[in-house]
Structure 1
Amino acid sequence: MGWRGILGFEYGIIQAPLGPDISGPELVAAVASAGGLGLLRAPDWEAPDYLRELIRKTRTLTDKPFGVGVVLAFPHKENIRAILDEKVAVLQLYWGECTEDIVLEAHKAGVKVVPQVGSFEEAKKAADVGVDAIIVQGREAGGHVIGQDALISLLPRVVELVQGRDIPIIAAGGIVDERGYVASLALGAQGIAMGTRFLATDESYAHPAYKRKLIELDETEYTNIFGRARWPGAPHRVLKTPFFMNWRTLPSDENETNQPIIGHSTIHGMEKDIRRFAGTVPNPTTTGEIESMAMYAGQAIGLIKEILPAGEVIKRVVAGAKLLINQKFACDIQG
């Protein structure tokens, strides 16, 4: 399986399902071809036929397995059915209950189930219904963050929870390079999931202005000002753009519904108006006030200095982690 492989993939590196459509076929195929687990993002509405097309397009770009991420807070039953019918390698679930019924149905189709959790309690429920792996997300993560615990405290507890069971634990939140990978392994994880690092790649479907901001800015903030009406109770971590800093104290009774339209975008094949404070991130089709839109990023953004091909990201992380473990830490222990 290769160095630190999990779930049948060569490397223990997962590319998070970047929403709403930022991890498209090109990014997922590039990650898969490089030996990682790439995850498409299912639409946040029922679109099974479209999702099948997305999966099939990805298969024209790589002969390696990949997965699809589904946010359970939105309509998803028909989308999950399409994923299982297409027999993708992995069904990744987030922001909702991963039930035993879902797991059994997926396993019947030969699909592995990997939920992402943000608390010890969520992890316990997931382990008890027989999932194939668990992604543990710390509060350092970019985008929508379901838990309040830091990765360094939550991860070891979940590792201890599943001790003796065949459930690999994957670390997520603020990991962008080999140092984060090795630290996660030291805490007991068997792999890592990265979102922001893969957002800042050639193949990601983020708008070029968004990618530039990922390199220019080095601070984030945990907030809830974006998408309050569409996804209530879903805090998130964003870049400290000038727009965000001007509006970060938005009154709690305000949301995007009564705000002006600041742009337009085609998302998963549908034309969408973008209102101020909507949670929609800009993709290459987006027009309007790009820098006034949501720009999610994790706390380690200051460590990302350049936009790279996704395959190069994996290559560097794996090579760097090997070097750290085999040389630096081995020498320290021997000394």
Structure 2
Amino acid sequence: MGWRGILGFDYGVVQGPLGPDISGPELVAAVANAGGIGILRAPDWESPEYLRELIRKTRALTDKPFGVGIVLAFPHKQNVKVVLDEKIAVLQISWGDYPRELVDRAHGEGIKIMHQVGCIEDADKAYKAGVDAIIVQGREAGGHVLGQDGLMSLLPRAVDLVSGSGVPIIAAGGIVDGRGYAAALALGAQGICLGTRFVATEESYAHPKYKQKMIELDTTAYTNIFGRSRWPGAPHRVLQTAFFDDWRLLPDHENETSQPVLGHSIIHGVCGELNLELLVLLKEKEIRRFAGTVPNRTTTGDIESMVMYAGQGVGLIKDILPAGELVKRLVQEAQLVIQQQFYNAGFS
């Protein structure tokens, strides 16, 4: 069963890479210490020294293995090199192809590759490239969504694709509790990847108002109005806030570049001692209306008018938990659900 672990980790619970800074060292270390797979989010630009600093701080908080997530749609070669140099346990990749020669290079350094996909065609490419695990993301997921298929139909197809190979399929999209975990296992997954639920944890670097909205609101919307200039053609799922309801029909020709400034934030600024090169990255950033940047703890201004990514399972989130407790709860709830189903079906 997936709660017994995948890829050498204690449990099959993956904390998805969340940006900017939301899945920082504190969150990743807490998940790793609890036996899950914590994943740092590399910056969406080449920033090798900063990424090394993130890794260094995470290693100061845990002696357990963890991963780094890299979005292939942005410049990434130097960041990947850091992952290889540092011999991180897992490289999680998304939004692009990762050919066999690069997978083999990672394997040569003892690093496992976990590829997130949103359709069966991309799952097949990843499988043929020799990756160690495939995250199958349904349209229910929060943040930038890879595909159009729902998890219920996509997941068993991916499971059938890799049948007998030993490559674990990890389910993502709308899962926030043990019932979702058990359902994913029933469809053949060997683990689950959660983003939204880990935003609503004590260690996540999300702004407190963002976390509170996770509890207050229970609906999401699939849209493309945020971050159009920076990442065109990348639809996303967000909390259906009052701001979103007012602007959801934003004309296609509009984007954030000409919009007023809503506030400011320090992006990628969670490290302790920094050298001069890193300090350059810590300049305060303007957040304009319709920007794709979620509010982190440093953000000031009109927080409730900023983007808040969330998956469809958000209506099931009722509290802010320590991340380690969440990992344990997910496993225990899934075990209980499966035991109850066996009991109800007449098995002893």
TM-score interval w.r.t. the shorter chain? Answer: over 0.9
Which runs of structure 2 are paired with 1:1-335 in the superposition (5 Å)?
A: 3-269=3-269, 270-271=282-283, 272-326=285-339, 328-334=340-346
Q: CA deviation at 1:108?
A: 1.1
- Residue type of the partner of 2:334? A
Deviation string for 1:209-238 (max 9, x for gaps)?
A: 101111110100000000001000000000
Contact 2:2 2:191 in 1 (8 A): no
Equivalent in the alignment of 2:277? none
**Residues 63 and 19 (structure 1), Cα distance of their counterparts in 2 relative to 1, 3 Å cut:** same
Offset at 1:21? 1.5
Secondary structure class of the residue paired with 2:88: coil
Distance 1:142 1:164 in 2: 31
C-alpha distance after superposition, 1:68-113 (max 9, x if no partner): 0001111100000001101110000011112212211111111100
TM-aligned CA distance change 1:94 to 1:3, over 3 Å: closer
Q: Could you list the runs of 5+ residues in structure 1 that have no partner in the other structure?
A: none
| 1:239 to partner: Cα distance | 0.3
Q: Answer yes or no: is the 8 Å Cα contact 1:120–1:157 preserved in 2.
A: yes
SS at match of 1:37: coil
Q: Which amino acid aligns with 2:299?
A: T
Q: Secondary structure at the match of 1:104?
A: helix
Task: Give the Cα separation in 2 of the matches to 1:265 and 1:82.
Answer: 26
**Could you report, residue by residue, the CA deviation over 1:228-257 in whole angstroms, capped at 9, with x for unpaired residues?**
010000000000111111000000000011
- TM-score normalised per structure 1: 0.98
Q: Alignment partner of 1:53: what SS?
A: helix
Please, which moves more after superposition, 182-191 or 283-292? 283-292
Aligned-pair RMSD on alpha carbons? Answer: 1.1
Distance 1:246 1:101 in 2: 48
Cα deviation, 1:268-321, whole Å, max 9, x if unaligned, reads 143211111010000011111111111000001010001010011111111111
* Preserved CA contact (<8 Å) 1:4 1:190: no
Q: Which amino acid aligns with 1:244?
A: F
- 8 Å contact kept, 1:118–1:147: yes
1: distance between equivalents of 2:296 and 2:344? 45
1:224 to 1:153, Cα distance in 2 relative to 1, 3 A: same
| Distance apart, 1:3 and its partner CA | 4.1
> Could you tell me the TM-score, scaled by structure 2's length?
0.94
Within 2, Cα distance between the matches of 1:107 and 1:296?
33
Runs of 4+ in 1 over 6 A off after TM superposition: none
CA contact (8 A) 1:24 1:40 kept: yes
C-alpha distance in 1 between matches for 2:40 and 2:18: 8
SS at match of 2:264: strand
* More displaced 10-residue stretch of structure 1: 280-289 or 100-109: 100-109
Q: Secondary structure at the match of 1:49?
A: helix
Greater alpha carbon shift after TM alignment, 278-287 vs 268-277: 268-277
| Secondary structure of the structure 2 residue equivalent to 1:171 | strand
Partner of 2:189, secondary structure, is coil
Tell me the distance in 2 between the aligned counterparts of 1:3 and 1:155.
Answer: 18
AA of the residue aligned to 1:120 = I
**Alignment size in residue pairs:** 334
Q: 1:332 Cα deviation (Å)? A: 2.0
How far apart are residue 20 of structure 1 and its match?
2.0
- Alpha carbons 2:2, 2:185 under 8 Å: kept: no
- SS, match of residue 106 in structure 2: helix
Whole-angstrom CA distance in 2 between matches of 1:9 and 1:134: 15
Deviation readout 1:33-72 (Å, 9 max, x if unpaired): 0000000000001000110010010000001000000011
Between the aligned residues of both structures, percent identity stands at 71
Residue identity matched to 1:208? P
| C-alpha deviation, 1:333, in angstroms | 2.3
**Post-superposition offset of 1:4:** 2.4
